[in-house]
């Protein structure tokens, strides 16, 4: 019986560990303030543009002093009527407060990312929300 209990516990630990988001560099999702951004690249099929965008984005997020959760995504290609898969990249960032997010907006590494990458995108859409 102990053998099965140990096996079950090991399996639960393995599953819970595999569910952690490896794209989130700071750990737990901070529910105080979420900043969700969608980017539509001008040339989404151009591998050089994608590489330049990803490089600039990762450099920026890896050096941001304010963002807690830092998730970069691409469309999951889930074809349902309510799903928009038209964008090229998304980021989900969380902050401990609205004030921290306001500081992030003026952060030099954020402004540098915009300067470097704005030429690559056609459209940006932002959704900000605060937790209940």
Summarised one tens digit per residue, pLDDT across range 34-65 is 999 999 999 999 999 999 999 999 999 999 99
What are the residues whose beta carbons fall under 8 Å from the beta carbon of 122, sequence distance 6 or more? 40, 41, 42
Q: In CATH, what is the architecture of 23-130?
A: 2-Layer Sandwich (3.30)
**CB-hemisphere CA count at 13 Å for 98?**
4
What are 86-123's pLDDT values in tens digits?
Answer: 999 999 999 999 999 999 999 999 999 999 999 999 99
Question: Nearest Cα to 69, choosing from 103, 98, 95, 105?
Answer: 95
Residue ranges of the domains in the chain? 23-130
- In Å, how far from its chain's centre is CA 31? 14
Question: Nearest Cα to 71, choosing from 19, 32, 36?
Answer: 36
């Amino acid at each position: 019986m102990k053998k099965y209990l140990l096996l079950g516990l090991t399996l639960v630990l393995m599953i819970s560990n595999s569910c952690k988001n490896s794209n989130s560099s700071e750990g737990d999702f901070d529910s105080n303030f979420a900043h969700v951004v969608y980017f539509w690249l001008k040339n989404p099929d151009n591998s050089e543009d994608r590489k330049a965008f990803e490089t600039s984005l990762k450099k920026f997020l890896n050096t941001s002093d304010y963002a807690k959760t830092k998730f970069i995504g691409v469309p999951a290609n889930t074809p349902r009527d309510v799903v928009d898969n038209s964008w090229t990249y998304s980021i989900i960032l969380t902050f401990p407060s609205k004030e921290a997010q306001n500081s992030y907006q003026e952060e030099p590494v954020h402004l540098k990312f915009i300067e470097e990458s704005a030429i690559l995108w056609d459209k940006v859409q932002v959704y900000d929300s605060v937790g209940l």
